[in-house]
Amino acid sequence: MLFTGTRSRNAVESAFAIASGLAADGGLFVPQDFPVISTAEFETMKEMDYCRRAETVLAKYLTDYSAGEIKYCVQGAYKGTFDNDLPAPLTDIGSNRKVLELWHGPTCAFKDLALQLLPYLLTTALKKLNTGRQAVILVATSGDTGKAALAGFAGVKDTQIVVFYPRDGVSDMQKLQMTTQPGNNVTVCAIAGNFDDAQNGVKAIFTDGEMKDFLHQNNMEFSSANSINFGRLVPQIVYYVSAYCDLLKDGSLRPGEKFNVVVPTGNFGNILAAVYAKKMGVPISRFICASNRNNVLTDFIRTGIYDRNRQFYTTESPSMDILISSNLERMLHLLADGNCEVVSGLMAELKNTGKYQISGKMLEKLQQDFYGTWCDDEAGRAAIAAIFKERHYLCDTHTAVALAAGENYRRETGDDTLQVIASTASAYKFAPAVLQALTDAALPADDFEKLQLLSQISDTRIPEPLANLRGSEILHKECIAKEEMAGFIRRNLE
Ligand SMILES: *Cc1c(COP(=O)(O)O)cnc(C)c1O
């Protein structure tokens, strides 16, 4: 299996793609073709546990890793790090809907699924490539990636991790999770700007020749833990494959019977992984792309025009407050049948004008599979209240956007096919907004008392990783302008 860039046809092996994160021309690595899982293989896989399923999927993409290396990576990532060793359980919530709970890991958000595994994949790749250089992981985060990457990389030999987050664009709990992170290889810094500023800053640093020279002089090399790294994407394909196996196993689906997925979307990584799972043979019918008020993707799916020149809103689902969805580039590459010139052209337009339009043919292809819809904070809160009232099921603000989107879809299309709804964070990570949806009572000022109140109201337990933050020392206090990011990295790595 080889990987090419979305903007050029150079083919590389997976270890190289994972170690470098981004192609040299700024494009994203994509598999040259998609390995397929046969009906018979699904029958075998449905009897496997999560780790074995993950090993099976990884082995099809990372053909330059040995079976032993893959096993070492998967077991290190998923054994003993998730509740009950079940990284991605399905919960039935009635009306032909199942929630795929992706928040049972060490930081209580779905990014753990990928970021517990990525450090293993990356350090193994570096060993294979034998460069002798340290990896510097640069992360721009809308909240959850930062902590999940810190949790994955803290203390990992031969790596440094630098995390930038938008000062006013993350929840209090997310900020606390990041600013209290210990470890002698970690740096955390706030940006006076929004997530797109942080992400653009990181992208610019990646492709900056002078920065590259500076790193090489210090025997270092940049890599990325953002979802532009293929090493982030492949673990996400696993949970869609695994969900299908679970549905086959419990009899919810017959072999080949189709289901829809609903994904609360920001950077388009999670939903793209579902698209890749379909390419491998998972029978997904429609991809319902759920957005919050930053509904640039809804407009794109409906019109074929991507236009980031619009008001940016800070919402109660901050991990989706994004106007430039990086992984959409991989989707464009699929829609353009692998035509790099088309993708390069669209990306250049996006960079220069903040806008592009895809061809009628590409749009038709997109709309065959995709449905775009969105909801605002008020509708999100209503969804949290409704599912709690009906099913006593507690969900966070991002999952709420997906629930509301799933209902919009059914109302607007009449299609009541089984929905698998990606649940991307624990409600406790966004306790203030969730509480406001569930009660009219005044909220306590203290963050941890809010968690306790939520625990009382919902009769569920506060996840340990969040409870343990209480009293942790704030270790990272710096905040810089977006123009200072490169200088900040030099100062900290020197
Ligand atoms: C990152 C994140 C999302 C968005 O996922 P993408 O892969 O960027 O589309 C949604 N919800 C939560 C809680 C997240 O952390």
Per residue in 69-92, pLDDT (tens digit) is: 999 999 999 999 999 899 999 999
Q: Which atom of ligand 1 is nearest to the CA of 111?
A: 15
Q: Is residue 295 within 6 Å of ligand 1 at its C-beta?
A: no
Give me the mean pLDDT over the 146-150 stretch: 94
Q: Nearest C-alpha to atom 14 of ligand 1 is from which residue?
A: 319
Instruction: Kindly report, residue by residue over 418-474, the tens digit of the pLDDT.
Output: 999 999 999 999 999 999 999 999 999 999 999 999 999 999 999 999 999 998 999
Question: What 3-state class would DSSP assign to 36?
Answer: coil
Q: Nearest C-alpha to atom 8 of ligand 1 is from which residue?
A: 267
pLDDT score of 207 more than 90: no
Q: Which residues lie across from 6 on neighbouring strands?
A: none
pLDDT score of 261 more than 90: yes
Q: Which atom of ligand 1 is nearest to the CA of 270?
A: 7
Q: How far is CA 51 from CA 73, 91, 136, 157, 450, in A?
A: 10, 20, 28, 24, 35
**Helices marked H in 280-376 — which ranges?**
296-303, 328-335, 340-353, 360-369
Question: What 3-state class would DSSP assign to 305?
Answer: strand
Q: Is residue 266 within 6 Å of ligand 1 at its C-beta?
A: yes
pLDDT score of 494 more than 90: no
Instruction: Kindly report, residue by residue over 21-78, the tens digit of the pLDDT.
Output: 889 888 999 999 999 999 999 999 999 999 999 999 999 999 999 999 999 999 999 9
Q: Which atom of ligand 1 is nearest to the CA of 273?
A: 7
Q: Is residue 269 within 6 Å of ligand 1 at its C-beta?
A: yes
Tell me if 58 sits within 8 A of 70, measured CB to CB.
Answer: yes
Cα dihedral sign, 432-433-435-441: positive
Q: What are phi and psi of 483, to 5 degrees?
A: -70, -15
Q: Could you tell me the pLDDT band of residue 168, with boundaries at 50, 70 and 90? A: confident
Q: Is residue 319 within 6 Å of ligand 1 at its C-beta?
A: yes
Tell me how far apart the alpha carbons of residues 246 and 99 are, in angstroms, rounded to a whole number: 12
Residue 223 pLDDT: 87
pLDDT score of 366 more than 90: yes
Q: How far is the CA of 218 from the centre of ligand 1 (A)?
A: 34
pLDDT score of 144 more than 90: no
pLDDT score of 169 more than 90: no
Q: How far is the CA of 400 from the centre of ligand 1 (A)?
A: 13
Residue 228 CA to chain centroid, in angstroms? 10
From 133, 140, 122, 331, select the one nearest 226 (Cα to Cα). 140
Strand ranges inside 233-283, DSSP E: 259-264
Q: How far is CA 250 from CA 141, 225, 244, 246, in A?
A: 37, 35, 10, 6
Tell me how far apart the alpha carbons of residues 336 and 422 are, in angstroms, rounded to a whole number: 27
Q: How far is the CA of 1 from the centre of ligand 1 (A)?
A: 28
Q: What are phi and psi of 229, to 5 degrees?
A: -80, 130
Q: Could you tell me the pLDDT band of residue 232, with boundaries at 50, 70 and 90? A: very high
Query: Residues 6 or more apart from 480 whose CB is under 8 A from it?
Result: 189, 190, 191, 192, 488
Residues serving a catalytic function are: 111
Helices 447-458 and 172-179, packing angle to 10 deg:
120
Question: What percent of the chain is modeled with pLDDT above 70?
Answer: 100
Residue 20 pLDDT: 86
Residue 388 pLDDT: 98
Q: Nearest C-alpha to atom 15 of ligand 1 is from which residue?
A: 144
Q: How far is the CA of 267 from the centre of ligand 1 (A)?
A: 7
pLDDT score of 195 more than 90: no
Sheet holding 97-101, edge to edge: 90-92, 97-101, 419-423, 259-264, 284-291, 370-374
Pocket test for ligand 1, best of 398, 423, 426, 429 (most atoms within 8 A of CB): 398
Give me the mean pLDDT over the 227-246 stretch: 96
Q: How far is the CA of 352 from the centre of ligand 1 (A)?
A: 26
Tell me if 178 sits within 8 A of 202, measured CB to CB.
Answer: no
Tell me how far apart the alpha carbons of residues 253 and 244 are, in angstroms, rounded to a whole number: 8
Instruction: Kindly report, residue by residue over 272-294, the tens digit of the pLDDT.
Output: 999 999 999 999 999 999 999 99
Q: Is residue 109 within 6 Å of ligand 1 at its C-beta?
A: yes
Burial code (b: 16+ CB inside 10 Å, e: under 16) for 209-219 equals: eebbebbeeee
Q: Is residue 265 within 6 Å of ligand 1 at its C-beta?
A: yes
What is the DSSP code string of 64-109? TS-HHHHHHHHHHHHSSSSGGG-SS-EEE-STTEEEEE---STTSB
pLDDT score of 143 more than 80: no
Q: Is residue 101 within 6 Å of ligand 1 at its C-beta?
A: no
Q: Is residue 146 within 6 Å of ligand 1 at its C-beta?
A: no
Q: How far is the CA of 494 from the centre of ligand 1 (A)?
A: 33
Q: Is residue 423 within 6 Å of ligand 1 at its C-beta?
A: no
Kindly report the pTM of this predicted structure.
0.94
